[in-house]
Structure formats: C-alpha cells, structure tokens
Amino acid sequence: MQIRDLPYPDPGIPDARSGPRFLLWLGRSQLGGQIKAVCWGLLHFAGIAGLSVGAGLAVQAVIDRSGGGLVFAGGFIALCGAAISVGDTMLHRTAVTNWITAAARVQQLLARKTAQLGAALTRRVAAGEVVAVSTGDVEKIGWFVEALSRFLAAVIAVVLVCVGLVLYLPELGTLVAVGVPVLAVAVLPLLPRAAQRADVQREKAGKATELASDTVAGLRVLRGIGGEELFLGRYRAASQEVRKAAVRSARMWSLISAIQVLLPGIMLISVIWYGARLVLDGRIEVGGLVTVYSAVTLLLFPLRHFEEIAMAYSFSRPSAKRAARVLSLERTAFEDERGGLDDARPTGDLYDPATGLLAPSGLLTAVVCGDPDAAGRLAERLGGHAAAEEKSESVLLGGVALDDLPLDAARASVLVQDKDPVLLSGTLAELLDIPASGAVDPEKALAAAQCGDVLDALIQASVDGSGDPMRSRITERGRSLSGGQRQRLALARSLVTDPEVLVLDEPTSAVDSHTEARIAQSVKELRAGRTTVVFASSPLLLDHADRVVFIHEGQVSAVGSHRELVRDDPGYRAVVTRETEDEQCGTAAAQRQIMTPASARAREEIEESA
C-alpha cells in the first residue's frame, strides 16, 4: 500500500481484544511494508558497519605502505557510503509510508465504527476520548509501526556485527558481544516507571483539554453568570498539574537517555584499553583494533533504536488500548449471531419486545417516560443502537428484526435524532444536503420546523451579503445559534431525510410553547403516512399525537390519547403535569368529592345554613 492509494478499500477487521493484540494485528496487516523497511534498514546498517571495516583496512594499508590496499579500502568506503545513502533514504521513505498508512488505517476503522454506532458512540465512550484516539493516539500508534521496522533491522545488524567481530577478532569480539546485550537491556527496568509517568501526564493533559473544551462550549453561559475567572483559575490549576507531570516524565526519560550515553562510553573505553594492551603484546594488529573501535562506535547508532522502540511502545500501548476499546464496541449483541438479510427496507409497525412499545405505521406516537435516561436508551434501541451488553430482544419493524438487517438498510429505515443533536460547520445548504428520499425538500422541512427566525439570523450574520440563508455559514456545533435554533435546524435536517420511521428524543425542549405547538402541528402534517415516534413530556406536543404511550419502570403502563391519560392515569398525570405526591392526593380527593352525590348534598346544606 502506497500513500497515493489511500484510503484503503477495506481497512480490515481489527483484533480489538487488547492494545498489544491490536498493535500486533496492525503490524501483520502491513507485513509487506515492514519487510521492505527491514531490508532497506539492513542495507543502511550494513553500510555503516562496513565503514569500520574500510577504516581498519585503510589504516593497515598505511602501516604496511600498500598503495593497492589503500585504493581498495577507499573504494570499499565509497561503496559503503553509497549503501548508507540509498539505504537511509529508502528506509526513511518506507518507514514514513508505514506510519502514514497505519495511521490512515486506524482512522478509517474509527470512522467506520463511528458510522456504525452513530449517536450511541458518545454514550458509551466520552466524546473527548474519541477525539483523542482519532488525533493524538493515531499518531503514536503510527510511530510505533514506523519504529518497529527500524528496530528489527537494527537488531539483525547488531547480531551480525557482533558475530562478525567474534569471528574476526575473538579477543575483542567476545567483549563486544557480551557488552552490547547489556547496553540493550540496561534501561528495561526503568521503562515501566517511565511509561507510568507518561500515562499520568496524558491523563492530566486529557482532563485539562476536556475542561478547556467544556469552558469554550459554555462560554456564553459563563459570561452570563460571571464565571469566566472561576473556570480560568481551574484551567490554570489543571495546566500546572500537566506541567508538573510532564517535568517528572521528562526527568525519567532524561535518565534513560543518560544511561544510553554512559554505558556505551564505558564499553568503548574498555575496548580501547583492552585492545591497546593486545596490540602492545603483538596479539592483534593496529588495523584490527581500529576496525573493532570503529565497529563499536558505529554500533551506538543502531542501539539508539532500542531506546526509540521502548519509548514508542510505552506511548503507543495506552493509545492502542483506547483505540481497541472504541473499536471493540459492537452495534448490538445479535448481529454476529444472526447473520444478515437482503438489503431490503421493511415497512410496518415498530415494536419493542423489551418494553411492549408499539408504534403503528403511519401514525404519530408520543412516548412519555418518567426517567429521561431511560427514554434516551429506549430511543437508541428503537434505532438499533442498543448497547452490546443489553441482552433484550431486537426491535421489530414490520415483523423484521432490525438487528437482522444490513446496517445501511437499518439506518435508512429508522432515523433517531438525539436530544442533543450536533450541527456540523458549513453552510445551511451543506447541512441539509444529505441522503434523503427526495419527498421533502429543505424549504418544507425548514417551514415545518419553524425556522423562519433562524433564517433571518443567518442572513444577518452572513458575510458575503448575498441575502441567501442557504449560503450562510454555521459555526462549529452551531454555537453561534441559541439552543432552540440549533434544535429546530436539527429537526429540519431529520425531516429532509424522510425515513420510514423517525424517532425524535425531546425535539422541542429548548423552544417556547407557542413555537412548540406550531412545530407539533406542522410535523404531524408533514409526516402524514409515515411513522413518527416522539419522546416528550410537554402537553402541547402530546396533545397533537395520534396516540400516547406511557412507559413506567421499563414497561408500557398505559396507552391512549393525552387527555384520556391525564384524566385516568395518576402516574402519567404526575409526569406530565409535574405533580408532587401531596398534589396527587389532593387531586384524587377533589375528584372523589366531585363524583360523590352525598358530598354535593352536604355542601349545599352547609351553604344554606350559612
């Protein structure tokens, strides 16, 4: 795979059981690129090792006053220089290609998982963690994949050089062969503590980033209550914690680097001292000593890759763990067990066996839950976004289980709008330019969502002066708009898609009562003949529903019209009217008094006597 061939046609099925397993799978997936990088790395290190041989030959030729030997040594050094140049260039090119393609593969996997889970993803994993995985963590994982090939080439080169020195000069070669492994593993005891400090630094940095993101998102509210300085102080404290953690982590890595310099220096001095003794004793030649000295000096370069791979693994392991955690999330617990049906889009009633909720085809069904969190989970399950740990039976659409449908068919059949929908940055035309049936144009959807004042606001904020609200830009997450305006634009986007079943979770919670009543009537008219499920507790919206379903303790408790349930069901009335227990008792007593003839006669007698 080359960079120009990205993105991958299919990034594959990752092994997300753990971080190390994910890294191993990623390495196997790019086996060809890794082998190429190792080969180029061996050429590069062979050229480096050859310089020591050439230097030894040149010194010995000078001592022997051999012109032919000196020419041969010069040619050999030139050949080694060419090998170093070509090998280093191609190694860097191939290693960087491995890095970019690995990062691209992880990003594609994350994007695919995000598309599969939809809004359910941020309910299972924090949004900040998903952002961290798709940005910084992807780079660290790619760094490990890049460093791995260089490390393998360095290991092979070090082993071959040590074996060659043992065969060339056993007296000095044995010392080098024993000392090099010691240098390679000397810092291993320090790596766990260094990795732990690095993890603490990343954790504190993540909290500081999350605090900054929340502060920016709520800046309008903070200014309203005068809380900017309070949160600024909290961010200062969090950033100081990050700084302290970074300093502690840097100290440990500095110690590791110092050891990597100190121990090779000691070994080099030992080789020179012992080699000089051997030369004086006449057991080896000066050229041999120069060869061994040069080889030991040049061995320090591939030994640096031992430190690099240790650092890369220490940083990439928690990143891979977070990536594996996100990639291990499944759409439902049934998808792998049941297989899939043809890419068809069923129609009919929407039924949830877990709660007994039935949304008849073509009607507007309102669902009332006393627990907002339970309402959110039920809305997700209706759209096939149920958590993997839930073992309840799949939701049925026209008698067909959503979990048995291909993902695209399920998403096209049932659309769920979260209670806190996200608006992406771009123009209004781009926001509404989404896959749709074509039956509802953007103008109708905007009108049904009562977006007239939103369009006026976009025109006023337009910088091009065109006067066309469709060309006006919406800032990130729609932060330049009020909560009610964002909610109505999101509703218009959902209406444009015109799905077979539209599930809306509190779509009008941030708008005023008059606008809410008009939205309820307009949505009912626009969605005529389509199935619509609205999770709400507002009487204005409930009164426009064809039928209302009351969910209590996870099960359907009552079904009827809004007025019937308010009159006949105390639990429903308590949720919709926000009555307390005392108020419920007073209401019940008042109803009994009104309905009892004896009470009415007694009241009349008291009034007559008065």
> What pLDDT score does 337 carry?
39
The candidate with the shortest Cα–Cα distance to 433, out of 394, 470, 401, is 470
Whether 335 shows a pLDDT value over 50: the answer reads no
C-alpha distances (whole Å) from 463 to each of 336, 426, 466, 467 are 50, 13, 8, 9
List of E strands, 217-276: none
Mean per-residue pLDDT of the chain: 81
pLDDT for 157-191, tens place per residue?
888 888 888 888 887 888 888 888 887 777 778 87
Whether 215 shows a pLDDT value over 50: the answer reads yes
pLDDT for 262-311, tens place per residue?
887 888 888 888 888 888 888 878 877 777 777 777 777 777 787 788 77
Any alpha helices (H) in 328-434, and if so which ranges? 335-338, 372-382, 407-413, 428-432
Whether 325 shows a pLDDT value over 90: the answer reads no
Lowest average pLDDT, out of 220-224, 325-329, 341-345, 508-512, goes to: 341-345
Whether 587 shows a pLDDT value over 70: the answer reads no
Return the DSSP state at 9. S
How many other CB atoms are there within 10 angstroms of residue 28's CB atom?
Answer: 11
Residue 144 near residue 151, CB atoms below 8 Å: no
Report residue 36 as tokens: 């190429």
How many other CB atoms are there within 10 angstroms of residue 529's CB atom?
Answer: 8
- Rounded average pLDDT over 359-384: 88
Whether 79 shows a pLDDT value over 90: the answer reads yes
Say which residues have a Cβ less than 8 Å from residue 157's Cβ, sequence separation at least 6.
41, 42, 45, 46, 48, 49, 302
Laid out side by side, the sheet with 555-560 consists of 414-417, 501-505, 531-535, 364-369, 547-552, 555-560
What is the pTM for the complete model shown? Answer: 0.59
Whether 387 shows a pLDDT value over 60: the answer reads no
